[in-house]
Amino acid sequence: MRLLSIDTPETYKPRCDAELTKGREATARLRELVANAQRIEVVDSGQADKYDRRLVHLLIDGRDVGQTLMAEGLAVEWRPGPNAWRERRRHWCGY
């Protein structure tokens, strides 16, 4: 699964140390939210990405996790396009 409409920093092939650090923070925060949840709901969009991952919204206790991660600075809005990676690299790495 992939959370719809957000992009988090890479932990697999980060472009800089800051991206790796933020990626680990985002992963830890997601795990914390799931561990403390009273109710978890996965809303499937019916779509998949190029890696065949289901595109979903994840709601924890009625709140969209993507919105929570963006509000906490651990994710940015996903914007597809040929140069979108440059914007994300600039956001996480500062260049």
Residue 64: helix, strand or coil by DSSP? Answer: strand
pLDDT one digit per residue (tens) for the chain, 95 residues:
999 989 999 999 998 999 999 999 999 999 999 999 999 999 999 999 889 999 999 999 999 999 999 999 999 988 777 777 677 667 788 87
**What does CATH list as the number for 2-90?**
2.40.50.90
Tokens coding 46: 């019916």
Residues 82 and 25: their CA atoms lie apart, in Å, by: 27
Active site residues per annotation: 2, 10, 53
pTM of the model: 0.85
Domain parsing of the chain, residue ranges: 2-90
